[in-house]
Amino acid sequence: MADDDLFLDDLAGGEGGAADDGDDRDDGGGPWVRCALAQIMATDPPNPSFVVVLREAEGERAFPIYIGPFEWHAIHRPLHGYTPDRPETHDLLLACVEGLGARLRQIRVRDLVEDDDGDGTFYGSLLLERGGEFVEIDCRPSDALALSVRRDCPVWVSERILDRLSGE
């Protein structure tokens, strides 16, 4: 099994995912499903939407995540070979992480919380490793994906999210 295929759950918070951060979300997450960025798209004005689609690596289930235009560009540009003259925000964050001797090992989409209007907010996390120690950091999935495409980092999604969005 390749290093990137490892799911590092027991190394960062045990079965169930992220460390307790004091809020009311159920960050239990797992079991986890390996996914991939299947599509990134933007609709035309006057009301543009920016969307990424994640799909199971070994299955058919997929779901969209609506993101902002800045995050869309942060994901889209590296996928299409754009290299900025100066570091952009996500490049800077990776430079800080790596400059401190850590490595981005995986990203996770761990929860989906719906509001009263039926809209939802996805919650994600970064799993970093430094010297054999692991830490999981809360983040937006769009930011996690922007980092992931820069380092070809594996994407893991909670089975609960895939089941819920596919109607299973």
Arithmetic mean of pLDDT, 9-29: 43
The pTM (predicted TM-score) of the whole model is 0.83
| CA atoms of 60 and 108, how far apart (whole Å) | 19
SS3 114: strand
* Residues 6+ away with beta carbon under 8 Å from 23: none
Fold of 3-15+27-166: Bifunctional nuclease domain (3.10.690)
Once rounded to an integer, what is the mean pLDDT over residues 37-65? 94
Between the CA of residue 27 and those of 51, 52, 68, what are the distances in Å? 23, 22, 23
The pLDDT confidence band at residue 167, using thresholds 50, 70 and 90, is: confident
For residues 127 and 167, which has the higher predicted lDDT (pLDDT)?
Answer: 127
Number of helices (H), then strands (E), belonging to the chain: the values are 4, 7
Lowest mean per-residue pLDDT among 38-42, 88-92, 118-122, 133-137:
118-122
* Strands 103-114 and 155-158, sheet pairing: parallel
Across 143-150, average pLDDT: 97
Mean pLDDT across 93-113: 96
What DSSP designation does 46 have? T
pLDDT attached to residue 17? 38
For residue 5 the two structure tokens come to 């295929």
> Which whole-number Å values give the CA distances from 87 to 59, 78, 83, in the listed order?
36, 12, 9
Asked if residue 156 lies in contact with residue 108, where contact means CB atoms within 8 angstroms, the answer is yes
Which two three-digit tokens encode residue 15?
A: 């079965």
Find the helix or strand (DSSP H, E) in which 72 lies: helix 69-79
pLDDT at 7: 54
For the chain, what percent of residues have pLDDT higher than 70? 82
By C-alpha distance, which of 80, 97, 81 is closest to 89? Answer: 97
Residues in the chain: 168
Residue 21 banded pLDDT, cuts 50, 70, 90: very low
Write the Ramachandran bin of 123: left for phi over 0, alpha for psi from -120 to 50, otherwise beta. beta
